[in-house]
């Protein structure tokens, strides 16, 4: 079949928007259509999620494979993580309020990030939950893979700046900040040799959470999630042999340990609170029918 004939098939219509926009070659399109028919197409949400660390672990594995495959500067490394958070938010909101979920759209990589209007300037947001025409939920995602200490202040200051800019103008919004990293973060020199390991300092983030009830322009939720990696197992992407088998073996060794995520920064607790709050804001401010007949919120 020609490219034109392949694009006329019913299966092609099921492919995500980013695939429609990409200039796939004939062989690539045939593979994508085969994957879709077999239920293995990437970036298509599942019908149900267990909402467990096993699912998060699997997503982080895919993320690291892309990191080692494409390098530290490629945006592809976060596509799987962004889309997973997109899907579990969609799934959780549907659990809480199927009525509201019908009017929800979620924008994220790899298909489309949303440029959200802010108090001072518009900003591309990693994941945006939109109800009808209103951008209600905002999720920022950082996966720190190396050289943390030299950028630690920038991460923190950018978080505060984004919250001040985006949280309350021109409408009330719910802001969830996700930081993911390794328990032992490698520091690489200019030749990509690991010189030491570093650790995320959570004190400032705890202080920020203690202030959020007083200051409306602070993040509502902060998650900090660690991969508990052995100290010397990580390698710089430029030092890794670009063989799919070698990369998968390396990632399997990195990801074999548990994912650590604790209160008040617990990933799943914050997912639940974020989605509950998004539904509550919609019911209170934007959905007149729901505000008259508020739906009971289900718990995980």
DSSP conformation letters of 44-110: ---S----SHHHHHHHHHHHHHHHHHH-TT-GGGGHHHHHHHHHHHHHHHHHH-HHHHTTEEEEETT
pLDDT of residue 279 exceeding 80, the answer is yes
pLDDT of residue 46 exceeding 90, the answer is no
User: How does the average pLDDT of the chain come out, rounded?
Assistant: 89
8-30 tens-digit pLDDT: 888 887 777 767 767 788 888 88
Q: Looking at the chain, how many residues does it have?
A: 300
Q: Which among 267, 262, 235, 270 is positioned nearest to 251, based on CA atoms?
A: 235
Give the model's confidence band at 39: pLDDT under 50 very low, under 70 low, under 90 confident, else very high.
low
57-101 tens-digit pLDDT: 999 999 999 999 988 888 888 999 999 999 999 999 999 999 999
Mean of pLDDT values over 159-171:
93
The DSSP call for residue 112 is: B
Q: Residue 80 burial (CB < 10 Å; 0-12/13-18/19+)?
A: buried
pLDDT of residue 298 exceeding 50, the answer is no
pLDDT value of position 40: 67
pLDDT value of position 161: 96
pLDDT of residue 54 exceeding 70, the answer is yes
What CA–CA distance (Å, rounded) separates 166 from 151?
22
pLDDT of residue 188 exceeding 50, the answer is yes
pLDDT value of position 289: 52
Are the C-beta atoms of residues 221 and 140 closer than 8 Å to each other?
Answer: no
> What predicted TM-score, i.e. pTM, was given to this entire model?
0.86
Mean of pLDDT values over 185-209:
94
pLDDT of residue 254 exceeding 50, the answer is yes
Beta strands in the chain (DSSP E): 104-108, 114-116, 123-125, 127-131, 134-144, 174-182, 185-188, 194-198, 221-227, 259-261
Helix (H, G, I), strand (E, B) or coil at 198: strand
Q: For the residues of 216-228, what is the DSSP string, one character each?
A: TTS-SEEEEEEE-
């Amino acid at each position: 079949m020609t490219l034109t004939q392949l694009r006329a098939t019913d299966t092609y219509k099921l492919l995500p928007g980013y695939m429609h926009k990409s200039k796939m070659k004939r062989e690539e399109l045939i593979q994508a259509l085969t994957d879709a028919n077999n239920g293995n197409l990437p970036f298509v949400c599942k019908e149900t999620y267990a909402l467990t660390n096993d699912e998060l672990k699997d997503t982080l594995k895919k993320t690291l494979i892309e990191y080692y495959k494409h390098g530290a500067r490629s945006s592809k490394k976060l596509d799987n993580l962004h889309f997973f958070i997109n899907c579990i938010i969609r799934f959780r909101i549907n659990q809480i309020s199927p009525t509201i979920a019908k009017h929800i759209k979620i924008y994220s990589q790899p298909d489309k990030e949303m440029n959200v209007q802010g108090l001072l300037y518009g900003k591309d947001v990693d994941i945006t939950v939109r109800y009808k025409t209103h951008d209600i939920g905002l999720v920022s995602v950082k996966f720190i893979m190396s050289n943390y200490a030299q950028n630690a202040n920038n991460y923190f200051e950018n978080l505060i700046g984004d919250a001040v800019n985006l949280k309350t103008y021109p409408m009330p919004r719910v802001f969830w900040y996700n930081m993911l990293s390794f328990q032992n973060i490698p520091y690489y020199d200019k030749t990509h040799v690991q010189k030491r390991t570093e650790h995320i300092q959570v004190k400032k983030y705890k202080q920020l959470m203690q202030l959020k009830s007083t200051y409306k322009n602070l993040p509502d939720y902060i998650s900090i999630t660690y991969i508990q990696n052995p100290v010397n197992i990580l390698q710089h992407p430029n030092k890794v042999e670009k063989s799919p088998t070698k990369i998968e073996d390396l990632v399997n060794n990195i990801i074999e340990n548990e994912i650590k995520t604790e209160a008040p920064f617990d990933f799943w607790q914050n997912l639940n609170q974020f989605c509950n709050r998004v539904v509550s804001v919609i019911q209170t401010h934007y959905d007149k029918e729901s505000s008259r007949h508020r739906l009971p919120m289900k718990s995980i």
